[in-house]
Amino acid sequence: MDAILNGLTESQKQAVTHIDGPLLILAGPGSGKTRVVTHRIAYMISQGVSPSQIAAVTFTNKAADEMRTRLGQLAPGQPVWMGTFHRFCAQLLRRYASLAGLSENYSIYDTADSKQAMKRAIAAANVSTSHTSPEQITSIISSAKNRLVTPEMMLSASSRTGDAVAAKVYPVYQQQLLTANAVDFDDLLFHVAIMLRNNPELREDLDSRFRYILVDEYQDTNLAQYAIVRGLSINNANLAVTGDPDQSIYGWRGADLNNILDFEKDYPAVTTVRLEQNYRSTPNILRVADQLIRHNQKRKKKDLYTHNPEGDPVVLRMYEDGYQEADGIADAISNAIRTEGMRPRDFAILCRMNALTRSLEHSMRSRGLPYQIINGVEFYQRKEIKDLLAYLHLINNPSHDVAFQRVVNVPTRGIGAKTVERLRRYADVNRIPMLQAARDVYKIEGIAKRSATFVTRFVELYDRLSKKASATLEDLLRYLVEETKYEAFLEKSSVDQQDSSAIGNVDEFISAAVEFDRQHPEDGTLEAFLEQVALVSDTDAFEESDDRVTLMTLHAAKGLEFPCIYIVGVEQGLLPHSRSMDTDAGFEEERRLLFVGITRAMQRLQLSVCKRRTVRGDTRPAVPSPFLNELPLDELKKVESNVDRDWFDEDPDAHGGYPDSWDLPDEDGGDPLADDSGPTVHESAATAYDEVCQLPEAEIAERVESKKRKSAQVAGLKTAADMLNGGVTPVTAYREGTQVRHTEYGDGTVVSITGRGPKRTATVRFDDGEHNFRLAFAKLEVIDG
């Protein structure tokens, strides 16, 4: 008991000792929230609450693990349910699958699976996709599910054209999922929410089964999650939620800030506890965070404070480009490790997009700095792994059509696209899984006898494999690899590309299976393994114990802390991201994202900006983020590049005319990173792409250039092309055989030209090899046409 309450502040104690009734814990960053939550659970148990009546729901497995570990120290061996929302729902759905029209061995489609399924549904729904992409449809349907909109509801209430198309696809997609005995990520929440709504008795049962519910990161819940939580705390309103509206960064996934802002209205009997003292960061860092977040309009005012000693000033650094940024940071880190006794694990580098980790990765590697990338290329997304996984999925759930289509001809066994197409058609018409259709292959019109034989052979292979379904995973996998001659297939297909890693990956996958067998001697079913794989993200792969520098996105950093944080690319169009900054809500969410990043830092923090940024192949002048203007600038240490020279107050001309204040660019000024097809495509709505495509190339080039000049003026920078030749070379000046000069590569010859308009691209051969250039932006000079 003493161990539970000792060392807590008054407000922490208040939260910890609250047992019955709704509780809202508003916890600022670094305020010891996890500590409070775990201590509270321990306290509840010590007061006689049965652990089996408690469920703690988090957003990441990482958070759940952390909680479990900490509780284990306070109250060992207590079976409190802890896990993510999705896992919670997956388990309920296992149990009550039939209520959602599923069988208990249902599969969980990952994003790629859903994408495949969606394409099939779009084709089957017979809609015109000329004005809506599959991605758009997917996202509309996803957000419908997050808002608990059923296919029927959507059909009756679709006004906009994009919605109308999606509304037609939605029921088909759901029907096909049902036939495949599968759900997507959104369905996990959706089905459970609907199930609770439609089955009052079940709802009541579960309400009392989970008498005490805790929800972490409540600010990130969407309507489906809200409904689930609500449904489980009506009779027993012992719902405790923790969260921080300032750290809500999942609006794009349907998170509704109102869930936490209105909590006090939903549960009038609520006790609210505010945890505002920060134990993590220096006052310097906290002031920067606070100044920034004050600029959000939609927000509950909150005072952050700390008793920590004043530390180093926050650094605002400017680099020439992304490569120097990466090198500079890598150098700084290895210096700190060499001279200050810091460890690699003390550092994290945060960025807005995964793509930005590339150059960072390169710099780390070249300096021999150990690093880990969270959410880079995922292990489970590699081809070999997906293939084997698909076999496992199909063994577990014979209706898994996405898996069927993936493996039916892998390794190649004479079943071509046409045959698969006919199987699919037959399956659609009869509303049966494709494997079932394959069993009826002789009944299907149009499939040649020869092909049918191959199909039957596949079915026989499948039946052999499924006999092993209940063996250990290791045995099953080894048998699978053996029977399918999978490794021989890999070897054969990777002759020319010296891609020997594929077979290594297979071995690694088998090791993972061995490990799973070892950890689950009792419940190590195939189903459990597949569920784990589906619901474990790479964010969870973060290993604190590893002594490595961590590279990740700002989103992935939530909930973590590091002594030293570098936030890269604090630039207009990147942070705030160009796709989010058009709406106030989006813009404020971007601001919160930066807030989250800043507050990860314990002792040191550097924000950085580049003069130029290379995205998707081409380099553009970059404009500092408007958020920087909102920071207490006089407190920051502003440094240009690696020279310890204060650039901020200097004569702007001294460094290429960079703006001498952090004034915002003009309205239409700047988003040099918006799109690689150039500003032309994104011109004000009406003069859209079609029109541009009809213009003669020279005129397009001129438009591109004029727009580019304009945005460059705003940034106060000349574009590279302008600096080079003071003028514009029309894209039509290039033909095959044209002699050109490039600043880096030297002289070369145009080998070929493809594309048109802003995308017109030339392949140029130089002495040291060939390079491709977007002509409208290339740093090329014509020597001789």
Please say which residue, 17 or 677, places its beta carbon nearer to DNA.
Answer: 677
Residue 626 annotated as part of some ligand binding site: no
Please say which residue, 186 or 266, places its beta carbon nearer to DNA.
Answer: 186
Residue 7 as a binder of DNA (CB under 7 A): the answer is no
| Distances, alpha carbon 555 to alpha carbons 145, 346, 354, 362, 492, in Å | 22, 19, 10, 22, 40
Task: Out of 184, 186, 216, 384, pick the active-site residue.
Answer: 216
Binding marks (x or -) toward DNA, 704..743, rule CB under 7 A?
Answer: ----------------------------------------
Residue 433 annotated as part of some ligand binding site: no
Tokens of 177: 């999922």
Stretch that binds DNA, among 45-53, 397-405, 411-419, 695-703 (CB under 7 A): 411-419
What count of residues does the chain have? Answer: 785
Residue 311 annotated as part of some ligand binding site: no
Task: Give the shortest CB-59-to-DNA separation in angstroms.
Answer: 6
Residue 193 as a binder of DNA (CB under 7 A): the answer is no
| Distances, alpha carbon 612 to alpha carbons 480, 571, 634, 712, 717, in Å | 50, 10, 25, 11, 10
Q: Are 270 and 264 in contact (CB under 8 A)?
A: yes
Helix (H) or strand (E) holding 67: helix 61-74
**CA-closest candidate to residue 376, choices 542, 503, 250:** 542
Whole-angstrom distance, CA of residue 172 vs CA of residue 168: 7
Residue 587 as a binder of DNA (CB under 7 A): the answer is no
Binding residue for DNA (CB under 7 A) from 200, 370, 617, 785? 617
Three-state secondary structure call for residue 23: strand
Q: Are 500 and 511 in contact (CB under 8 A)?
A: no
Binding residue for DNA (CB under 7 A) from 417, 643, 685, 686? 417
Stretch that binds DNA, among 13-21, 155-163, 245-253, 469-477 (CB under 7 A): 245-253
| Distances, alpha carbon 750 to alpha carbons 31, 211, 445, 469, in Å | 60, 72, 52, 58
Binding residue for DNA (CB under 7 A) from 352, 424, 548, 600? 352
Three-state secondary structure call for residue 46: helix
Q: Are 426 and 444 in contact (CB under 8 A)?
A: yes
Tokens of 14: 């208040």
Helix (H) or strand (E) holding 275: strand 271-275
Q: Are 267 and 237 in contact (CB under 8 A)?
A: yes
Please say which residue, 119 or 682, places its beta carbon nearer to DNA.
Answer: 119
Please say which residue, 214 or 342, places its beta carbon nearer to DNA.
Answer: 214
Beta pairing class for 612-615 and 618-621: antiparallel
Task: Give the shortest CB-622-to-DNA separation in angstroms.
Answer: 16
Please say which residue, 249 or 712, places its beta carbon nearer to DNA.
Answer: 249
Please say which residue, 288 or 552, places its beta carbon nearer to DNA.
Answer: 552
Active site residue 644: no
Residue 41 as a binder of DNA (CB under 7 A): the answer is no
Binding residue for DNA (CB under 7 A) from 60, 179, 282, 399? 60
Please say which residue, 73 or 752, places its beta carbon nearer to DNA.
Answer: 752
Task: Give the shortest CB-205-to-DNA separation in angstroms.
Answer: 25
With a CB cutoff of 8 Å and minimum separation 6, the contacts of 55 are 80, 81, 82, 88, 210, 212, 213, 214
Please say which residue, 75 or 701, places its beta carbon nearer to DNA.
Answer: 701
As to burial, measured by CB atoms within 10 angstroms (0-12 exposed, 13-18 middle, 19+ buried), residue 139 is middle
Amino acid at site 453: T
Residue 226 as a binder of DNA (CB under 7 A): the answer is no
Binding residue for DNA (CB under 7 A) from 555, 612, 620, 703? 555
Under rule CB under 7 A, which residues in 620-659 are in contact with DNA? none
Task: Give the shortest CB-497-to-DNA separation in angstroms.
Answer: 9
Whole-angstrom distance, CA of residue 282 vs CA of residue 274: 20
Whole-angstrom distance, CA of residue 209 vs CA of residue 231: 12
Task: For residue 581, give the DSSP letter.
Answer: T
Residue 231 annotated as part of some ligand binding site: no
Active site residue 600: yes
Residue 252 as a binder of DNA (CB under 7 A): the answer is yes
Binding residue for DNA (CB under 7 A) from 185, 587, 658, 734? 185
Active site residue 217: yes
Active site residue 33: yes
Binding marks (x or -) toward DNA, 476..515, rule CB under 7 A?
Answer: ----------------xx--x-------------------
Active site residue 650: no
Stretch that binds DNA, among 202-210, 458-466, 525-533, 537-545 (CB under 7 A): 537-545
**CA-closest candidate to residue 370, choices 336, 340, 333, 326:** 333
**CA-closest candidate to residue 80, choices 229, 202, 210, 240:** 210
Residue 32 annotated as part of some ligand binding site: yes
Helix (H) or strand (E) holding 768: none
Whole-angstrom distance, CA of residue 710 vs CA of residue 678: 13
Whole-angstrom distance, CA of residue 342 vs CA of residue 630: 31
Please say which residue, 42 or 721, places its beta carbon nearer to DNA.
Answer: 721
Residue 28 annotated as part of some ligand binding site: yes
Residue 48 annotated as part of some ligand binding site: no
Residue 376 annotated as part of some ligand binding site: no
Task: Give the shortest CB-565-to-DNA separation in angstroms.
Answer: 16
Residue ranges at the known binding site for ATP: 27-34
Catalytic positions? 33-34, 216-217, 247, 600
Residues forming contacts to DNA in the complex (CB under 7 A) are 59-60, 84-87, 111, 119, 133, 135, 185-186, 249, 252-253, 352-355, 375, 409, 412-419, 451, 492-493, 496, 535, 537-540, 552-553, 555-556, 577, 579-580, 586, 616-617, 676-677, 754-755, 771-772
